[in-house]
Amino acid sequence: MRIGLLQEGEVMEGVSYAQRYEEMIEEVALADQLGFSCWGTSEQHFSPPRFTVSAPEVLYAAIARHTKNIKLRIMCSVLLQWNHPVLVAERMATLDIVSNGRAEIGTARSNNLTTLAAFGVDPSTTREQWADSFDVLIKAFTEETLEHDGPFWKIPPVKIVPDSVQKPHPPIFVAASSEQSHGMAGEMGIGALCFESYFGFDYMQQCIDAYRKGLAKGTSSVPRRTENMGLYVATAFCDEDHQKAVDIAHDVAMGYFHFIVDLYAPLGKKSSYEYLDDKMKRLVDNRTNIDFLVNETPSVMIGTPDEFIARLRDLEARGIDEVLLRIDGVPHEDIMRSIELIGTKVIPVFQNAKAEAAE
């Protein structure tokens, strides 16, 4: 079990974007020292105060210079028409250089109707746009001369520079919230980053099983396989006292949950997102129930170090290789304390278990 950190620049009242960005750099530097596996942020637009990182590649470059070991995973680059895949490949290779080979990339097709509308994207075409962009991305990573004639992108022969440090290319992941997407990721031989959208442990297990079934086919659409079943934890917070952890993280947990409910309810009515629709009633019925979030969904992990260990062991037994903890939206000093607790009391448990298993 590997433990990574996910942040999205959530700003609290009285905190500027500039201050929050500087705080994040300090928080990632601490996570690097304490053995977190990776750090990443999502690409978000038009969604303050919860999401404020609209140009993640710039922030990644700054963090690369303040860290040494932690992997820098883009979580995720939205492969739709406003992000030309050639630009994504060029920026990714540059990050790999300035981080000395620590760059990783997750890809996504977006779940935000506001963003899709602002950039003029038809939601019914996002799966096809992602697939065509992904093909261009792999060519840009691996072919000396890129040429592409697809349904969305037409590219004459061009040479892409610079080359990435990692060969044949950095690890590749896809953000997935449906069983279909998890199965597809397994068949493609890329990592899956599961955002089970508060649908519960049974649904998460179905996604894990779909990914493992896809992997078992032994197929791959990329030169470098990345076999990794990851889980996004939308709100995470650790404290020595359980009730204190709940009190500190209550508002950010409920706020993020309400954001997802309001986002997915209309999205589930759109073509290619129908799988969301029939799962929304349970979430709507629990809109104000913090105990539901803490106990009934993998998307929230709030509690003591021992409670984190117990949850992580359960997730590991279910087939999760890595969790990505979103520790954000609370005061900087609380985030630093939570990172330190996880780094000193949780991560070593799994590192020691791995070392013992290797002996």
User: What is the distance, to the nearest Å, from the Cα of residue 253 to the centroid of all Cα atoms in its chain?
Assistant: 17
Instruction: Flag whether the pTM goes above 0.85.
Output: yes
> How confident is the model at residue 273, as a pLDDT?
58
User: What is the distance, to the nearest Å, from the Cα of residue 72 to the centroid of all Cα atoms in its chain?
Assistant: 11
CA-wise closest residue to 172 among 48, 36, 75? 75
Please report the sign of the dihedral spanned by the C-alpha atoms of residue 169, residue 227, residue 253, residue 44: positive
CA-wise closest residue to 174 among 79, 83, 236, 107? 107
CATH level 2 (architecture), domain 2-336? Alpha-Beta Barrel (3.20)
Q: How many CA atoms lie within 13 A of 259 on its CB side?
A: 16
The three-state DSSP-derived secondary structure of the chain is CEEEEECCCCCCCCCCHHHHHHHHHHHHHHHHHCCCCEEECCCCCCCCCCCCCCCHHHHHHHHHCCCCCCEEEEEEEECCCCCCHHHHHHHHHHHHHHCCCCEEEEEECCCCHHHHHHCCCCHHHHHHHHHHHHHHHHHHHHCCCEEEECCCCEEEEECCCCCCCCCCCCCEEEEECCHHHHHHHHHHCCEEEECCCCCCHHHHHHHHHHHHHHHHCCCCCCCCCCCCEEEEECEEEECCCHHHHHHHHHHHHHHHHHHHHHHHHHHCCCCCCHHHHHHHHHHHHCCCCHHHHHHHCCCEEEECHHHHHHHHHHHHHHCCCEEEEECCCCCHHHHHHHHHHHHHHHHHHHHHHHHHHHC
> How confident is the model at residue 266, as a pLDDT?
67
Query: Cα–Cα distances in Å, from 118 out to 14, 56, 77, 114, 252?
Result: 28, 19, 17, 6, 26
Place of tokens 């404020």: 52
Q: Give every CB contact of residue 289 below 8 A, 6+ residues apart in sequence.
A: none
Helix axes 56-64, 17-33, angle to 10 degrees: 40
> How confident is the model at residue 112, as a pLDDT?
79
Q: What does the pLDDT profile of the chain (359 residues) look like in tens digits?
A: 999 999 999 999 999 999 999 999 999 999 999 999 999 998 889 989 999 999 998 999 999 999 999 999 999 999 999 999 999 999 999 999 999 999 999 998 877 788 899 999 998 899 899 999 999 999 999 999 999 999 999 999 999 999 999 999 999 999 998 899 999 999 999 999 998 778 999 999 999 999 999 999 999 999 999 999 999 999 999 999 999 999 999 999 999 999 888 877 666 566 555 655 567 778 888 989 999 999 999 999 999 999 999 999 999 999 999 999 999 999 999 999 999 999 999 999 999 877 767 66
Which tokens is 300 given? 């929230």
> How confident is the model at residue 192, as a pLDDT?
97
Contact (Cβ atoms closer than 8 angstroms) between residue 253 and residue 198: no
> How confident is the model at residue 283, as a pLDDT?
86
